[in-house]
A and B are shown apart, each in its own frame.
Chain A
Amino acid sequence: MQLILESLFNGVAIGSVLLIAALGLAIVFGLMGVINLAHGELMMLGAYSTYVTQLIFKLPALKPFYNAYVIVAIAVAFVVSGIVGILLERSIIRRLYGDPLETLLATWGVSLILQQFVRSVPLAYGTGLVVALLIGMLLPIGLPKKLYEKFSGRIIRLACWAISALLGVLTSNSLSTAISKLGRASARNVDVTAPSWMRGGFDLWNITFPITRLVIIVITLIAVLGVTWFLKKSVWGIRIRAVTQNRSMSDCLGISTETVDVLTFGIGSGLAGVAGVAVSLLGSVGPNVGGSYIVGCFMVVVLGGVGNLLGTIIASFAIGIMTDLIGAGRLLTIWPDMPTPLASAVDFFATTSMARVMVFALIVIFLQFRPAGLFPQKGRMVEV
């Protein structure tokens, strides 16, 4: 019993990382038909955001609140990855709608650039850039209407960008002087240290549940609930689904489809950022951190089927539990009297990398019976 519970927990823990990582990808793919190969790099940005937030919270002024930095980091990561995602949508992806293969290649290009960017640009400057982008995008919306009556739009926009650029430069300079680590470019991995309350474990029924894992499960749970609520109940969520089902009709009904695209992509990217926070708590953070998770996310999307959150959730946990069962060789502990040939086969696959091999094979076999995943779309829209 204890054994089953423990492996179940491990599976759920692996699965929840997969789920939070795949959630944004699945939403963007399900709603917009876009596979974003830079999703892993958006996660990486989220992880680096956590790192920067953590360092900022170590400054004397914020030291008392250090224990809460993870919560702030989640918001920061969401915004940072969201902004980069929106920029990506505005500049590249919107030119390629309806051409998923081209999008795939273009977003791969973006992922290369992002990877090299964090290698060769000091984090302080990256932070400054994000700050400038954020202010530049928000400032024109926040200005009082009177200003628009007095000056032409172009002048206001120019002024806004000038202000935001200035603020960005200020941010990067002050950051690089305050925290010298952020002032240097480095391709080396960095480590995010969890606050003290997250270290250690939590004992129940003779099993130790690591608190980091529990926190990640909670983050995932909140993200899934939030996304579900947003898509099902909120006005913009309903608009997003309307655009997915019939774009031109939604356009006629006065829904701004462009805003919907930006919003959808922004949220998907933001969720990648949140996933980045989770990932940064598990191991060291480097430019390649996204790449190690992205293929797992793809497997979730393939197994779960398109445009179905429930499919994504079940697929994540199924893959998580299977990976743990196979990778830790748990079948042998559960069933010690296994016949020798079977036992040696189980032993052969009992490493993390070989477990991936096995899980992939199982997914391919599964697809022979259910080619469209767990929850296929039905009806006459399928071929379209």
Chain B
Amino acid sequence: MNKYLLELHHISVSFEGFLALDDLNLSLRSGELRAVIGPNGAGKTTFLDVITGKVNPTIGDVVFKGRSIVGKHEHHIARLGIGRKFQSPRVFENLTVFENLALAVSSNKKPIPLLIGEVKRKDKDEIHHLMSIVNLQSKENISAGSLSHGQKQWLEIAMLVGQNPDMLLVDEPVAGLTDEETDMTADLLKSLAGEHTILVIDHDMEFIRRLNSQVSVLHQGSVLCEGTMEEIQRDSQVIEVYLGRPEEGQP
């Protein structure tokens, strides 16, 4: 088995001449929890778009479980085991919490079995288990649109886990959450690591610190440096990117 679950080789993406990603290289070990930070416009979202197949890289290769996934459709990549959580919570607002989770958990995603079959006993148990993890049991038959912002975030994370992917891509999971919810999210993600490989993108440094993981810094479409939070914070390049030149920017 390959040492890395996901590898990005020399990825470049250009939008009409604008380089959103520029020779980006990144590898993730199986079971790793990795945080990716970067200033606005560093290409964080494009980076996720490339992995999930929404955007095809202009140059470069994405290898997942030892196989290239460039050019595959989004749903295909999702079935291979890459799940994505969006920046603002995207749940199906006109479906109930249960129905949202049932779509994520469903092991067969082809239309005909879905048309003919019922939700299996096993899947139902799984859905109830997920609801208890994210504290939404009492909302089972409430439409997801009427949940609070935090509850939607949690429902989406539950849906992501319910898809049972090998690799979770989590885009700004704590945006707009309270401190308490943020801490709970960090603990949840940490507990999921190991069994799953997780890549978290966020601005919130406190949250990243709490994840206690390797951090990659993205800047102008490529990886600036990698290391632990402490190492990153000492890195002169990172300080320059975030705060400007030391003599001007440091307090």
Contact = CB atoms under 8 A, between A and B. Distances in A.
Contacts of A339: none
A378 B17 CA distance: 11
A90 to B, nearest CB: 32
Q: Which of A378, A379, A380, A383 neighbours the largest number of chain B CB atoms within 10 Å of its CB?
A: A380
Interface string A367-384: 000000000001110010
Interface residues of B, number: 6
B13 to A, nearest CB: 10
Contacts of B15: 378-380
Interface in A204-230: none
Contacts of A380: 15, 20, 46
A379 B19 CA distance: 11
Contacts of B20: 380
Nearest to B55: A380
A379 B15 CA distance: 5
A41 B16 CA distance: 39
Contacts of B18: 379
Interface in B14-58: 15-16, 18, 20, 46, 54
Nearest to B18: A379
A383 B46 CA distance: 13
A91 B242 CA distance: 50
Interface string A251-267: 00000000000000000
Contacts of B16: 378-379
A158 B16 CA distance: 53
Contacts of A378: 15-16
A101 to B, nearest CB: 16
Interface string A112-133: 0000000000000000000000
Contacts of A379: 15-16, 18
Contacts of A383: 54
A351 to B, nearest CB: 40
A379 B18 CA distance: 9
Interface in A35-66: none
B45 to A, nearest CB: 8
Nearest to A381: B15
Contacts of B54: 383
A368 to B, nearest CB: 16
Contacts of B46: 380
B87 to A, nearest CB: 13
Nearest to A378: B16
Interface in B147-205: none
Nearest to B54: A383
A379 B16 CA distance: 7
A305 to B, nearest CB: 15
A383 B52 CA distance: 15
B178 to A, nearest CB: 28
A383 B18 CA distance: 17
A383 B49 CA distance: 12
A383 B16 CA distance: 15
Nearest to A383: B54
Nearest to A380: B15
Interface in A103-119: none
A114 B193 CA distance: 64
B14 to A, nearest CB: 10
B15, B18, B20 — which one has the most chain A CB atoms within 10 A of its CB?
B15
A379 B55 CA distance: 10
B84 to A, nearest CB: 14
A56 B54 CA distance: 60
Nearest to A379: B15
9 contacts: A378-B15, A378-B16, A379-B15, A379-B16, A379-B18, A380-B15, A380-B20, A380-B46, A383-B54
Minimum-distance CB pairs A-B, first 9: A379-B15, A378-B16, A379-B16, A380-B15, A378-B15, A380-B46, A380-B20, A379-B18, A383-B54
